[in-house]
Amino acid sequence: MGRRKQLSVYGNTYDTADGTGVRDYIHIMDVAEGHLAAVRHILRPDCSGTRVFNLGTGGGHSVLEVVQAFEQVNSGKRGQKSATWEDRNRNTAKMTSKRLYKDTGCPTKTF
């Protein structure tokens, strides 16, 4: 904060409600708790084989929604401009933690 005059938002032509990409942002504490739950799970004597867990809320927020939430929490607009970006990403990317919750009981919180 404070180093740039404005925030560059790359990509505003996606097929989403506001044109910016939708991603499943997850709180860092959910990441930490998810890792701990997974380690506890694989250390159980009845656990064998390999397990793959995704961490996510199962929902998503657009880049502009996250920018607006940041501005709201930090009292004021930052100024933003649209910047060009090659459209390499999908419009929406969401993860779900259903398997992690089912196997370990570890929930994730929503943004």
- Output the tens digit of pLDDT for each of the chain's 111 residues: 567 777 778 788 888 899 988 988 888 898 899 899 989 988 999 988 787 888 888 888 998 998 888 888 877 766 665 555 554 455 555 667 777 778 888 776 654
pLDDT the model gives residue 36: 92
pLDDT the model gives residue 69: 86
Pairing verdict, β 80-83 and 92-93: unpaired
pLDDT the model gives residue 62: 92
Structure tokens at 87: 């459209």
The alpha carbon torsion through 82, 70, 100, 41 (nearest 10 deg) reads 120
Q: Where are the domains of the chain?
A: 7-104
pTM as predicted: 0.57
CA angle 89, 55, 72 (to 5 degrees): 70
pLDDT the model gives residue 88: 45
- Span 7-104: which CATH code? 3.90.25
